[in-house]
Structure 1
Amino acid sequence: MASSGSSASVTDVPGRNPLALAEGALLDESLVPGSVAARRARISEPHVADLNALAEEVARVEGRRVPWFDPAGGGAAAPVLLLLQDPSRTAAHGSRLVSRHNNDVTAHHLHRHCTDAGLDVRATVVWNVVPWWVADPAVPAAERVGLVAAARRARPHLHRLLDLLPAARVVVLLGRHAQRGWDDAGIDAGGRAVLRAPHPSPNAYINTDRATGRPNRELLAETLADAARLGLASSR
């Protein structure tokens, strides 16, 4: 994994996730032929087998396109769970994986700050409060619901997810929708540290937090550093 200094050295690399591309980990068939197929071929590896069985069950039950857990991540052995709101277009219709290595700006921001914090990909498992893309145009408009309603519908799946993550000692809730979905679900964290940070999306990343007056990117970096300190210490 690259260090914090490396994020500046990849600015001329094509793609929306230049750090992942520079590491040889980018998931994009047009830029790295075979990258997605090779990663998908690993979705039944032991550390993600039960998690991806859950993803496939959610897809069947909900009638939605649910991306898989990334086998490059730590899966069931990861000490840190990163929870966002719902999958991106890239995850839902591109790689079909929820991954720090996806070719979108949100994934780049998350991957960069995790890397800077010392959170290797294998130290994290990334998922969403709503496991399907809420705005998926493949779903008839009349059947789509907003994030709040979708999070309510997805609560049982979130509870089941935590049962499959025995090594997770830290949960990072990224963005207000993930935070609200978690709070409304009434989840017992089971002794896990629950941290809150801004969403790493391009729009949120450039904004300033109203409560503190600090840039969201600083708060994101700080929270992920805390997650590394707590999660990695507990996994030793």
Structure 2
Amino acid sequence: MTAPLADPAVLAARRAALAAPHMAPLARFAAALRCTTGLAVPDADPADGGIGARLLLLLETPGPSMPTTGLVSRDNPTPTGANLRRFLAAIPRAEVLIWNAVPFLIHAPGARNRAPDAAEREAGLALLPPLLELLPHLAVAVLAGRFAARAAPALQAARPGLPVLRMPHPSPTYTCTSPAVPALIASVLAEAAALLPPCRDAAA
């Protein structure tokens, strides 16, 4: 199945939706990061929950193909995007915000993916508290991959008591190594979904 954001019309509509109320604060946050760092910083996907999200899925870094869409999204035309669409299918999109532990692009044009260095890691983790300030309804965070797992102390310091779960990264680099990896990802996401409190409307 073709990734939704491979369609220029879909991508244009998503970019326009960054001005929507649930997205505007996050779009301003990303724009400020682009200004202060001078680096490319993708926006969150307006098809997801934005500031209303109750589940934060924290990946590692924007991939080298990020400039194609400029969005952190399950709908990106990448193998990781395809895996995210599959793994997140059972969780309503309005519940989820996908972001990166290091939110700015660290790859030179044409370079292969690499892990962040120490300075990039520290710079990214320092940006998590202001991100959390934009997520008043956050109920659980899921850290995808070994690097994102290092964000746990920063998240728990900024939001004491927040449940923080860890899972393997959804890249095919990891999911294809063993059937146990996709099973673990699915299990962790099911646990995260179970931690979401009932919606206010449902409880009324």
| Aligned-partner Cα distance in 2 for 1:225–1:232 | 14
Deviations along 1:158-206, one digit per CA (max 9) or x if unpaired, are 1100111011101000000101144367733332211100000010111
Partner of 1:105: 79
**RMSD value, Cα:** 2.3
30, 36, 39: which one pairs with 2:14? Answer: 39
- Unaligned 5+ residue runs, structure 1? 1-12, 18-25, 209-213
Give me the whole-angstrom Cα distance separating, in 2, the residues matched to 1:169 and 1:60. Answer: 30
Which residue number corresponds to residue 167 of structure 1? 137
- 1:18-167 alignment, distance < 5 Å: 26-28=4-6, 32-90=7-65, 92-115=66-89, 118-137=90-109, 146-167=116-137
Judged with a 3 Å threshold, the aligned counterparts in structure 2 of structure 1 residues 51 and 195 are, in CA distance, closer, same or farther, namely same
Name the amino acid aligned to 1:128.
N
| TM superposition score normalised by structure 1 | 0.77
- TM-superposed deviation, 1:34: 1.2
Conserved 8 A contact 2:59-2:148: yes
Letter in 2 for 1:154: G
In the TM superposition, structure 1's runs of 4+ consecutive aligned residues that sit over 4 Å from their partners are: none
How far is 1:84 from its partner? Answer: 0.5
User: 2 CA distance for matches of 1:158 and 1:38?
Assistant: 28
Please state how far the C-alpha of 1:147 moved relative to its aligned partner: 4.1
Unaligned runs of 5+ in 2: none
- How far apart in 1 are the matches of 2:126 and 2:147? 17
- Whether the aligned pair in 2 keeps the contact of 1:169 and 1:191 (CA below 8 Å) is no
Is the partner of 2:14 in helix, strand or coil? Answer: helix
Deviation at 1:234, TM superposition (A): 6.6
| C-alpha distance in 2 between matches for 1:233 and 1:151 | 35
Identity across aligned pairs (percent)?
35
Corresponding residue SS for 2:195: helix
Q: What SS does the corresponding residue of 1:83 show, helix, strand or coil?
A: strand
Instruction: Determine if the alignment matches structure 1 residue 205 to structure 2 residue 170.
Output: no
